[in-house]
Structure 1
């Protein structure tokens, strides 16, 4: 905006209190059709003109709900396909966690200045521009698929279309050409292409964060400015309810897209013999980004037609006139009396950019000195660290721990965990409203929610199975594979060291990296669902082995595991609304808007940015067999399931215990404050009684 929005008392003349304003305010002119006409008179045809749908705040709420739904869908889709992206481009969990965290880098760098620019710009248009930037980021995220070569799930060359038929078999050394080492297949062009692909995804994630900066803050402020005061909470509640469905749709979309083969747009002539249960399967991860980007682009179109300011809803008019009468009393204060202090959000329009940057650190430090605010933010940081780790890697954890497909894991998360979190947030808000909880009881509710969340997560340590036996690989994280477990059975084979085509001996539940490592020389005629290899020298009885990894003996535990995760999510989400109330009721009135902004900034910097990297690094330490590409460590092929479960769930419990400790301190501080206030009230009551009784005693003393 060119100038800050005028305060409501500047829209009326300085007439006596209780009289109608001499000049109609902006909202009155907009409703009667007298705005933007010479002399303030209505044009003859003004009553015949129907108001545009873009001047309706209800239509804005609808558009903004759909936009935020699409935005969260595109930002959450990467988390639903994180394991697939790792497998496709050879990324470690630490790198993929850093990629997911880059969404917050651009957002955090610019979110502070929303307070400065918030009322100086055309908010709807800036929201539309941000949405288009989000759509562009989605297109960039899918670009690596189109510039990369087709996915090869075995060691065959691009010219060999009979993939997986004779690949990885145990053949005499004289009949097999010398295997080319992985380093000989590397070139500077290939490495540069890999770096370019990874760089494109990092840039896309940064743009995704930058584009999302104006969407939520400007949308909420726009609704609050032009909605009826009684309708504003309802509109914001609808907005948040619809928005929370975005992550659920993201995981549902991931579940559908990952059932499709990655190169569905360029399938080989002979087709493929993989199924979605094969560990080498890569789904169409890129297709979801295109769909989400298209949804965001469509949702951005109406914002370029909304006005910079729209009239208030009609029901607000009489209410505002009563407010004007009250406010005008404050304007008649004595000249010598100092004006009331205002927060940074109120004085920001009068500051230059340099002044705003200088003032902000002082206000930030003043806000952080508040003990309740600091402890609430720290508790939310701990809980957000837990949520960020689960949102990023829970799908991969379920795949590895229970041997289920990525599609099924996403469906479980989208149908159970996210609806449970939404239910918890709604339940927390209902409890605060219906029971009229004060700060002390809000902190007690947060403490109970964190405690029950912790209790529901304790059994998760014992729900899982150890990794089944893998021929030639020890279960010590960080150690290199050892091929001496079955000596002599594959001496005559020439097995490539970097090949990966796992087979399973179902009788002994031993898995081999390739049919060659099992000593198999023939392949049975493949059918649509299974591939069998025969004449295997390393298998007892030289019996057939089935292609694919061995199924987990604990796959039946995945539903109880998700049930406990969901119940813990409900309990953790119950504390969402009460913790916000602790901040809003704990800080000074003039600092509320800035306190919420600081809160979100600290959550991004301390939780949403580092947590995916921390969880990814912890997952990498449990790897027992890495794939190598051009001398660098690529994707992990096997994990120690026990160690993976202990470290992943252990991190969750660590952060939740930190949140529980913070809420316990908050409750103790608030109880102490209540006791001090009670003592002060008692002392003041005694003083008043003494002052009242003193005049009655003085005559007696004078007579004596």
Structure 2
């Protein structure tokens, strides 16, 4: 019988206390096992925090546009600054991440996100109160009545050359004021948020994939991403709540506000949400300071628990084994190896197709997230706060269910990488065909006298250069650059009560009603005394179509989100294990560079082209858009998104063909296809499969 050599430290305990032998490894295993679960929870909370702040910024983007009186194209630059921040550090963080302390790098990133969020709040405390544009009225002999149409007021901008010169001087002075550039605080805050978020996804996901059991990796990643989706949901709900509050709440008398949240001049309390998001991002950084550089593989711990209790030698060996840490490289060495590593990654044709797919996906999704609330507001006549709220309570929870379903299907059916590619391809094509039905959500253009219809009620081509002056208001000396709309009894919206030719009024504030509006008498030959109320007219046909649009949007979001998790896991299976973190970082970097950065800018510029009436800043100069040509808006917005998704369908098909060729049953690179995708990937890319150096080199492209 073989004699065992037992160390004295263990012998005394094992012989005197037999019961102490069994729990020895378990005491070491249980805390280590718990650390992975704790990391999953911390990472999920960081996903929640970044999703909360990111979606909140998206939801109140229109509020920022109105508060700073900027066009949508400039808003796109502010939105794109987040991507610029990512680009500055993403590739370096992703490459050096596995070689440094990943949890602590994530902690620093969360702190930077918090700092950026707090910086975005600063303009509110540096700017004065928000003064929205209102018309000038003259008080009649009766103190209870005011007239919007007053021949004695020489307010027409073309009254004299001197007034035009004065206006130009006023505009130039306005552009030089400090308030004109305070939007740069929001831009810099977004930039810092982008820098801080850079390490969270690639380092966090790769950390899980490195130390989780391979068959659980996709499920864990899906759970983290699904939990993180709660952040965008609450972010949009927070945005809806803040959008329903007046921007200067607490410092003004709300009874004196004559506009409501449906008005395009309304600005919500956008700054409150930034404060909340900053606190949450700070809290998300705290747990990561307490995690170690690496953890034992989850599978290894399970094998240790199954050891026979009588094998004291085995117990000593496993309990004495420290977590295997990844070798730390010098910074100079890591930088020197950067270009060869990048070249090795880009030699993989499957990965290149995946990059192209990411670019088109980013373009469509970023545009959707930035301008969907504005599209819903302009197209379906709903308030911006209600549009944001509906996205938060319907769209994102549906997306969460879809993401969970995608991860569940992947794990339940143990899909191979070819199965995941096929599932993603078919599902995306179905969602694409469903999205084409959006074009059936046609809605009439808002009838604005002088812009989209004539003063006699005859429809005309929408044009920002249309004639706003008619015989009925010629003597009213109305200012062409003002926007304080009223809705007439005839269902037509007028830019101001002055353009409607209203001579008197009753009531005050929001309840003010204008009477004796001469421009409405054109259609009735002066037989009636028409009146108008504050605000633009409602479009009932658009409101009735809105529920159908929501159902369609919900179904599309559910189907599309089911593709998310399988598609995300594919990237881990088409590259070699040592390139996983670098591949995710590169994919995210390229997606943000060519998708996330330009999309809000060029979409914003295209949307600006559909504007019919620009607002005016309080000190002069062009502000944000007040009225859009809704048909042109719909065609531009949905048309470009559909074009991007068409390209995605083609790339999904190509990706599936390449993966099937590389990993399918007929591939020479895979000996056994009856194994789960995790083992499939390992069998392709490990040295055990190709023991000789030459064989490994021959299959290097496949393993990448």
Asked if these proteins are the same fold (TM beyond 0.5), I'd say yes
Unaligned runs of 5+ in 2: 11-23, 308-312, 318-324, 453-459, 522-527, 672-704
Equivalent in 342, 352, 357 of residue 379 of structure 1: 357
Equivalent in 677, 693, 702 of residue 666 of structure 2: 677
Q: Aligned partners of 1:119, 1:671: CA distance in 2, in Å?
A: 30
Deviation at 1:442, TM superposition (A): 2.5
- How many residues align? The count is 612
Q: Aligned partners of 2:661, 2:71: CA distance in 1, in Å?
A: 49
Match of 2:499 in 1: 517
Match of 2:530 in 1: 543
Structure 2 residue 63 is matched with structure 1 residue 75: no
Deviation at 1:220, TM superposition (A): 4.3
Equivalent in 179, 185, 188 of residue 200 of structure 1: 185
Structure 2 residue 666 is matched with structure 1 residue 666: no
What SS is found at the alignment partner of 1:95? helix
What per-residue deviation string (whole Å, max 9, x for no partner) do you get for residues 623-649 of structure 1?
122235577543111111111111111
Equivalent in 479, 488, 502 of residue 485 of structure 2: 502
Unaligned runs of 5+ in 1: 1-17, 25-41, 43-47, 329-344, 683-704
Equivalent in 174, 183, 194 of residue 209 of structure 1: 194
What SS is found at the alignment partner of 2:176? helix
Q: How does 1:227-626 map to 2 (within 5 A)?
A: 236-268=221-253, 271-304=256-289, 306=290, 308-309=292-293, 317=301, 319=303, 349-353=328-332, 355-474=333-452, 479-484=464-469, 487-507=470-490, 509-526=491-508, 530-540=511-521, 541-552=528-539, 553-626=541-614
Q: Aligned partners of 1:23, 1:385: CA distance in 2, in Å?
A: 63
What SS is found at the alignment partner of 1:264? coil
Contact 1:399 1:405 in 2 (8 A): yes
What per-residue deviation string (whole Å, max 9, x for no partner) do you get for residues 173-222 of structure 1?
25879997643544647634134312111111101111222334444455
Deviation at 1:289, TM superposition (A): 0.8
Cα distance change, pair 677–214 in 1 and its aligned pair in 2 (3 A): closer
Contact 1:416 1:563 in 2 (8 A): no
Cα distance change, pair 19–457 in 1 and its aligned pair in 2 (3 A): farther
What SS is found at the alignment partner of 1:626? strand
What per-residue deviation string (whole Å, max 9, x for no partner) do you get for residues 656-678 of structure 1?
11110011223334555678937
Contact 2:402 2:560 in 1 (8 A): yes
Contact 1:55 1:310 in 2 (8 A): no
Deviation at 1:492, TM superposition (A): 2.2
Equivalent in 148, 173, 181 of residue 169 of structure 1: 148
Q: How does 1:109-258 map to 2 (within 5 A)?
A: 109-118=88-97, 121-155=100-134, 169-173=148-152, 182-186=167-171, 188=173, 191-220=176-205, 236-258=221-243
Contact 2:501 2:518 in 1 (8 A): yes
What per-residue deviation string (whole Å, max 9, x for no partner) do you get for residues 25-71 of structure 1?
xxxxxxxxxxxxxxxxx9xxxxx9xx999995544443443333122
Deviation at 1:144, TM superposition (A): 1.3
Deviation at 1:107, TM superposition (A): 1.4
Cα distance change, pair 125–584 in 1 and its aligned pair in 2 (3 A): closer
Q: Aligned partners of 1:609, 1:301: CA distance in 2, in Å?
A: 30
Deviation at 1:428, TM superposition (A): 1.8
Equivalent in 96, 115, 121 of residue 75 of structure 2: 96
Cα distance change, pair 462–364 in 1 and its aligned pair in 2 (3 A): same
Deviation at 1:603, TM superposition (A): 1.5
Structure 2 residue 623 is matched with structure 1 residue 634: yes
What per-residue deviation string (whole Å, max 9, x for no partner) do you get for residues 283-320 of structure 1?
1111111111122223334445x254587699954636
What SS is found at the alignment partner of 1:283? coil
Contact 1:531 1:546 in 2 (8 A): yes
What SS is found at the alignment partner of 1:677? coil
Contact 1:66 1:299 in 2 (8 A): yes
What per-residue deviation string (whole Å, max 9, x for no partner) do you get for residues 113-147 of structure 1?
22454356554444333323222211221211221
Cα distance change, pair 270–387 in 1 and its aligned pair in 2 (3 A): closer
Deviation at 1:267, TM superposition (A): 0.5
Deviation at 1:413, TM superposition (A): 0.7
- TM-score if structure 1 supplies the norm length? 0.77
Q: Aligned partners of 2:483, 2:669: CA distance in 1, in Å?
A: 74
Deviation at 1:534, TM superposition (A): 1.0
What SS is found at the alignment partner of 1:471? coil
What SS is found at the alignment partner of 1:102? helix
Deviation at 1:102, TM superposition (A): 0.9
Match of 1:340 in 2: none
CA RMSD of aligned residues (A): 4.0
Deviation at 1:224, TM superposition (A): 6.1
Cα distance change, pair 463–119 in 1 and its aligned pair in 2 (3 A): closer
Contact 1:450 1:656 in 2 (8 A): no
Q: Aligned partners of 2:616, 2:187: CA distance in 1, in Å?
A: 22
Contact 2:35 2:291 in 1 (8 A): no
Structure 2 residue 653 is matched with structure 1 residue 653: no
Q: Aligned partners of 1:385, 1:112: CA distance in 2, in Å?
A: 20
Deviation at 1:417, TM superposition (A): 1.6
Contact 1:477 1:622 in 2 (8 A): no
Contact 1:137 1:207 in 2 (8 A): yes
What SS is found at the alignment partner of 1:627? strand
Cα distance change, pair 76–22 in 1 and its aligned pair in 2 (3 A): farther
Contact 1:254 1:407 in 2 (8 A): yes
Q: Aligned partners of 1:515, 1:102: CA distance in 2, in Å?
A: 40
Contact 2:363 2:595 in 1 (8 A): yes
What per-residue deviation string (whole Å, max 9, x for no partner) do you get for residues 251-308 of structure 1?
110111111111103214863232222332211111111111122223334445x254
Contact 1:76 1:247 in 2 (8 A): yes
What per-residue deviation string (whole Å, max 9, x for no partner) do you get for residues 134-182 of structure 1?
222112212112211211123479xx9xxxx988811232587999764
What per-residue deviation string (whole Å, max 9, x for no partner) do you get for residues 398-451 of structure 1?
000011111110111111221222222222222222223233332222221121
Contact 1:425 1:573 in 2 (8 A): yes
Contact 1:54 1:307 in 2 (8 A): no
What SS is found at the alignment partner of 2:666? helix
Contact 1:88 1:282 in 2 (8 A): yes
Match of 2:45 in 1: 66
